[in-house]
Amino acid sequence: QVKLVESGGGLVQAGGSLRLSCAASGLILRFYVMGWYRQAPGKERELVACITSDGRTNYPDSVKDRFTISRDNAKNTVYLQMNSLAPEDTAVYYCNTYPWASQIWGQGTQVTVSS
């Protein structure tokens, strides 16, 4: 059974930083392109970062140069370093494969950025 557990969210002031973690069981992450997604209230879920098996990364313009995705294959964990956070980054953040697999969404981790 695949389980993804996100952690590291919280309340932070604008301009602050957070580091999210996604620990996996039942899935060997290094074999997959992995992504971080977020969903704000009333909005669709969107991809904010992805990383290939060989470490290539991609970001939408909205987070480029502020967010960094990385992976630790030994720990079977994917990370998202978020800097210069802004109120519009407030959302629940999830990890999943890219493209996502609907049956393995975790509970997500809430990120709230105050102005």
Model pLDDT for residues 95-108, shown as the tens digit of each residue? 999 999 989 999 99
**pLDDT reported for residue 80:** 98
Q: pLDDT digit string (tens) for 17-35?
A: 999 999 999 999 999 999 9
Please give the order of strands across the beta sheet that includes 77-82. Answer: 3-7, 18-25, 77-82, 67-72
48 DSSP assignment: E
Placement of tokens 């999830």 in the chain: 94
User: How far is the CA of 89 from the CAs of 20, 34, 44, 50, 62, in angstroms?
Assistant: 13, 20, 13, 17, 9
Q: pLDDT digit string (tens) for 37-82?
A: 999 999 999 999 999 999 999 999 999 999 999 999 999 999 999 9
**pLDDT reported for residue 41:** 92
Please state, rounded to an integer, the average pLDDT across all residues of the chain. 96
Rounded to a whole number of angstroms, the CA Rg of the chain reads 13
